[in-house]
């Protein structure tokens, strides 16, 4: 769902208007069901200087904006998740291709990488011990 892009077609504007109207309808239903965001309701009251009719109007605008923000954040998150999934799929494809070239299974490649990590860790631990011994000898 996109909102207020300056270069929209008539169809996009109609769809966006319909989506926005649905959000206002949701806001009205939530108010009728007394499902109100108390923090936002209080903020609207403060901005309305205690005028309850104006408070309700401000609240509706604020909650619709919040709904829009949540939708846009959800779309953004979905795009990030899709990107991460594509990355995992590419990595799996590369691993499978490497395995095919090397005639190794993906599990063998994973075990080899784990062994390399373990060897690197052991080397780092040994080097740290050496540095500590050298520092003690210098004292």
- From residue 108, alpha-carbon distances to 19, 41, 92 in Å are 51, 59, 13
Question: Is the distance from CB of 42 to CB of 34 less than 8 angstroms?
Answer: no
3-class DSSP state of 121: helix
More reliable by pLDDT, 10 or 133: 133
Convert the pLDDT of each residue in 95-135 to its tens digit: 878 777 777 677 777 888 888 888 888 888 888 888 888 77
pLDDT greater than 70 at residue 6: no
Whether the predicted model's global pTM rises above the 0.95 cut: no
Domain boundaries, the chain: 1-103, 105-139
């Amino acid at each position: 769902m996109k909102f207020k892009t300056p270069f929209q077609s008539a169809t996009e504007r109609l769809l966006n208007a319909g989506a926005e109207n649905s959000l206002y309808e949701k806001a009205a239903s939530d108010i009728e069901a007394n499902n109100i965001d108390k923090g936002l309701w209080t903020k609207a009251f403060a901005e309305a200087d205690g005028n309850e009719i104006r408070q309700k109007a401000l609240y509706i605008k604020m909650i619709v904006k919040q709904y829009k923000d949540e939708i846009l954040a959800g779309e953004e998150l979905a795009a990030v998740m899709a990107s991460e999934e594509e990355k995992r799929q590419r990595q799996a494809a590369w691993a499978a291709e490497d395995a095919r070239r090397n005639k190794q299974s993906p599990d063998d490649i994973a075990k080899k990488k784990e062994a390399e990590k373990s060897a690197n860790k052991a080397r780092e631990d040994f080097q740290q011990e050496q540095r500590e011994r050298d520092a003690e000898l210098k004292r």
